[in-house]
Amino acid sequence: MTFLTAVLAFAVAIGILVVAHEYGHYAVARLCGVKVLRFSIGFGKPIATWRGKSGTEWSIGPLPLGGYVKMLDERESDEPIPAEDLPHAFNRKSVARRFAIVAAGPIANFLLAIVLFAGLYATGVSEPVPMLGVPAAGTVAARAGFAGGETVVAVRDAEAGGEHAVRSWTELRWKLVDAALAHKPIVLRATMGNRTFDYPVDLSHVQATEVDDNLLDRIGFTPGGAKAVVASVEPGSPAAAAGLREGDRLVGIDDAKVVDVNDFITRVQSRAGQTLTLAIERDGKVETVPVFAKPTSIDVDGQAKTVGRIGAALGAQMPMVDVRYGPIDAVTLGVRRTWDISAFSVRMFGKMIVGEASLKNLSGPVTIADYAGKSASLGLASFVSFLALISISLGVLNLLPIPILDGGHLLYYSVEAVTGKAVPERWQLVFQRAGIVCILVLSAIALFNDLARLLHS
């Protein structure tokens, strides 16, 4: 992935999300009879401007990192508004209509996510099979009884019941993260060969601060069944001398089957100074080759350790499944997935506020750009999935009751609906300043996390 790819993917993603968000405001404003003066996407000097039939000025800026919809409003006009236009001013509309116009932006982001997820499910997306690797001793997965090689097919709440099918590793990951954040025990139904077993998984003791990108590794749930494939061969290495090539699949070592990449590496490292017999699959045929495991000193927890190396970089060829649904089921699952991720995001943010979850989970533009580039390099389906996730995050963020965000305005309108009086402008000004401070603090934390990830990558 190149820097240019990341930048372009980020610009496209943010541009699409901003257009969807602002068009939500625009469409409902027009529906409620509000005159829209300007619809602008991007910052900087406009590179394109035109006026529509309704009188709205449309504008596109060179930096698609934001946008706005400017509506007719007596409070923001420097000149008197013609009497015939007053009924179309935003501030003259009822509380319900103003609420609907402001809420339409985040709702548009949720609808976009539903459409994107439904499209993926309807057309089919290839995802890793929910097969488990060998868990480390003492982890939650090991205590549950998993030994590696099991394929999870369903999950249910250990206390409330309600079983849900699991078709991919992505679905399994979301279920585990959700259960860990809720501190609740679950039961995973898994198959091994022709047999089916129920495994009680106790996630009630997982701390909310542990719910991060490394959670699954920490509790022992790692993808299994990956085929070990030679990604590259070092010139002059034992692997090169043995004739190993990029793309060779490693199926056996000393008459023992290779389970996955980690299994192969462990076996090679334990045979330092010995000649191994590898069984490789090339062009549909299996052949054996002798390879010397060169003794190499490595640092393990501050201590030198000698291990065997053959000089080949390995890749994991995961077993994949095509996840595809009918139109109705695809939309239903799109709605459910959007709801689950939204609810998870709200719970996670709430726990970060009270100190129960790490602020390291906040990500800024650098991390988003990095993920945008990586997802784009993996294909259209990965990029669309990423776009849906970010659209949900944008929707949730804008609904937070922070002044200057949509959620802050919705809070004002809710107070007005209950009391019958608008929040005084002087208090709105105070809250707005406080909201700006909150946004700046959150942005600073997110940027710090971005730089920390960048330095440690």
Active site residues: 22
Q: In whole angstroms, what is the distance from residue 211 CA to residue 181 CA?
A: 7
Q: In whole angstroms, what is the distance from residue 292 CA to residue 297 CA?
A: 16
What are the structure tokens assigned to 102, written together?
A: 């402001």
How many other C-beta atoms lie within 10 A of the C-beta of residue 123?
13
Helix (H) or strand (E) holding 230: strand 227-233
Q: Return contacts of 159-163, CB within 8 angstroms, 24+ apart.
A: 159/184, 159/185, 163/189
Q: Are strands 294-300 and 285-292 parallel, antiparallel or unpaired?
A: unpaired
Helix (DSSP H) and strand (DSSP E) numbers for the chain:
12, 18
Distance from the Cα of residue 113 to its chain's centroid: 12
What are the structure tokens assigned to 297, written together?
A: 């000193």
228: Cβ contacts below 8 Å, ≥ 6 apart: 249, 250, 258, 260, 261, 263, 264, 314, 315, 316, 317
53: Cβ contacts below 8 Å, ≥ 6 apart: none
328 in the Ramachandran plot: left (φ > 0), alpha (ψ -120 to 50) or beta? alpha
Longest Cα pair distance anywhere in the chain, in angstroms?
Answer: 92
200: Cβ contacts below 8 Å, ≥ 6 apart: 144, 158, 185, 186, 187
Residues in the chain: 457
What are the structure tokens assigned to 167, written together?
A: 């078709």
